Structure 1
């Protein structure tokens, strides 16, 4: 029965997050590991469905009956669906930013100037001198 659940949850995952089955680009090992963890939780929940019991508490003339059994049904929770879809949105290797290591030849800013990293301001003072950094220590 577990084999059927695993096959079913894999099929659901591919339908919800198609990037997990793609080959162009192939999902990263990190993406697959995280997807397996999400799906393992779903299969575990499915195998435990129906366990638990009815609990009846009585106090004087009042009584409360609580059903604490796991809900059955072989569906993914909305949070699991969102997590799988997020894996496809983030893609494989993520990059926080990029740096232009070969700025245009006309640049007179210092290589460590904020302007070379895409900022809208100059941190080396070249905008004040017009010909190069205001102050720079080279080693």
Structure 2
């Protein structure tokens, strides 16, 4: 178990703090199961310890997920109130208000660093990767083009872009 009902209650901002710890604990357990399904590698990465703040981030995300459920248990999309000449409205975020869900930012914070949005990876290729007789790795055909840019189609071997 990563988070507790006390974590959710301690993180609560504003009034209407949940008082039924057993109910909060059930929702915390649901949120944890949700995270295990969505990000199966999470437990192993926490145990590995290579990402120093991962466990705390998981607790933060679970707390936020459960708080969203408790702040809008009826699953209302929008609430509008009128009192005389004054009107106010509140619109709840998310595709499924009142249910457990991960925001894109929360999901990104729980993914492995190489899987996060905007993560960049480097790769190299060159003569060492070339087996001969075929197209060069950087030939236009390797990227879905219709025509060869390395010369194999006309000479049987690469004649352009020689290394």
Same fold, judged at TM 0.5 (above): no
Q: TM-score, normalised by structure 1?
A: 0.43
Q: Which has the higher contact order (CA 8 A, sep 6+)?
A: 1
